Amino acid sequence: AQKITQTQPGMFVQEKEAVTLDCTYDTSDQSYGLFWYKQPSSGEMIFLIYQGSYDEQNATEGRYSLNFQKARKSANLVISASQLGDSAMYFCAMRNGGGFKTIFGAGTRLFVKA
Amino acid sequence: GAVVSQHPSRVICKSGTSVKIECRSLDFQATTMFWYRQFPKQSLMLMATSNEGSKATYEQGVEKDKFLINHASLTLSTLTVTSAHPEDSSFYICSASVNKGTEAFFGQGTRLTVV
C-alpha cells in the first residue's frame, strides 16, 4: 500500500532563512510522482513542485527545491529565503505514474517569523 | 496552470437538508475528478473518484448513499451531501488533472456547516 509520512507537525523559521520540510513515502510501484502543495488559511491548495520517480535531477521551482533521495524514499521540500507569506500548511503527496489518484501526508504547518 | 472552479465556497444548511457542491474544470476536460474531505488541522482524505459517464468509486468507509456523486459531463462533477447532519460539517475540496501523472489542480474548496 502507498503511504506518505510527514513527521513534523509544525516548523518555525526566521524570515530570509532556508527551511526543509520532511517527507518520506512508501510504494511498491516503480513509476510514481511526488508533489508538494501549499495550503494557506484560505483553504485553497497551491501546487508548488513535482518530482517524477525517473527524474535524475532534483526538481526546482523558484525558491522551492525538492531533495529527492530515491533509495531512502524521501522527498524533502526546501524553501530558500523564507518570506512571511510562506506561513501555511504544506502537504507532500504521491501518485502512481499510471493513474490520477493522489494521496497526501498529514501536513506540516510552517510559521515564518519576522 | 489549469483552472478548477468549485461552488459554493461556503454554505450553511439545516440538519436534514441536502447540499450540492459543484466542481468545474474551466479550461480542460476532466474524465476523472476527485473529492476530498478535510477536517480542521488535518490532511485531505480522499472520499471518492468521480468518473465521467459512470459510477463513482468510493473509498472504504465513505457512505455512497450519503455522498452522492454525479459526473455528467467532461467539465462538471457534483457532490451532494444528503440528509446532512452536524457531523458532516467539514471542508470539501475537489481536484482534477489534465493528464495522468501530472499535478492535480484543486478547486477553492467548500466549507460546509450543518446547524
Closest to B100 in 3D by CA, of A96, A75, A34, A30: A96
- Is A38 an interface residue toward B (CB < 8 Å)? no
Under the phi-then-psi rule, with left for phi > 0, alpha for psi from -120 to 50, and beta for the rest, what region is A81?
left
| Residue of chain A minimizing CA distance to B1 | A47
* Main-chain dihedrals φ then ψ at residue A92, nearest 5 degrees: -95, 140
CB proximity list for A95: less than 8 A, separation 6 or greater:
A32, A33, A35, A101, A102, A103, B101, B104
B12 or B3, which is more confident?
A: B12
Q: How confident is the model over B44-56, as pLDDT tens digits?
A: 999 999 888 888 9
What tens digit of pLDDT does each residue of B4-43 get? 999 999 999 999 999 999 999 998 888 889 999 999 888 9
Partner residue facing A33 (CB), from B101, B105, B111: B101
When pLDDT is averaged across residues A41-61 and rounded to a whole number, the result is 93
| Backbone angles phi and psi of A88, in degrees to 5 | 180, 180
Q: In residues, how long is chain B? A: 115
The reported pLDDT for the residue numbered A79 is: 98
Does A35 contact chain B (CB < 8 Å)? yes
Q: Do the strands B10-13 and B110-114 form a parallel or antiparallel pair, or are they unpaired? A: parallel
Tell whether the model's pLDDT for residue B101 goes beyond 70.
Answer: no
> B72: pLDDT confidence band, cut at 50, 70 and 90?
confident
Give the integer Cα–Cα distance in Å for A85 and A93. Answer: 22
Best of A66, A100, A103, A111 to mutate (most B CBs within 10 Å, chain B): A100
Give residues with Cβ within 8 angstroms of B99, minimum separation 6.
none
Tens digit of each residue's pLDDT (9 = 90 or more) over B105-115: 899 999 999 99
**Cα dihedral across residues A52, A37, A65, A107: positive or negative:** negative
